[in-house]
Amino acid sequence: MPSYLVEVYAPRSARLTELEAAARSAARTARAVRYLESIHVPEDETCFHVFEGPSAEIVRDAARRAALIVQRVSRADRRSPAQRRPTRGEEHREAEAVRPIRPDVRNRE
């Protein structure tokens, strides 16, 4: 099912937990809409919610029924962290993390 990024007005004082609760409420108002995640940007008084749904219009309607102040709904391509391939630097850090720890030979007695 396609993903949609829903941009909503969120005052600086809003708490992420409250914004997430409102987004979850939006998903409950429409059977085919599923809430995935939220990102709050207080400096811009904006919150981005990610939903899955059959169409942008259905997602927008669900968000409005939950009293979210919708600025824009856009189709979004996303990849879960499990699907993402690590970058070269991340591969190096992962290799370092699993390297066995060897005792320092100079400190052995």
Give CA–CA dist 74/50, Å, rounded: 10
Cβ neighbours of 20 (radius 10 Å): 16
pLDDT score recorded for residue 72: 96
Backbone angles phi, psi at 47, to 5 degrees: -135, 135
Domain ranges in the chain are 3-80
Domain 3-80 part of CATH 3.30.70.3090: yes
Is 0.75 topped by the overall pTM?
no
Between CA 107 and CA 109 the distance in angstroms is 6
Could you read off the pLDDT of 7-64 as tens digits, one per residue? Answer: 999 999 999 999 999 999 999 988 899 999 999 999 999 999 999 999 999 999 999 9
Contact 26, 4 (CB under 8 A): no
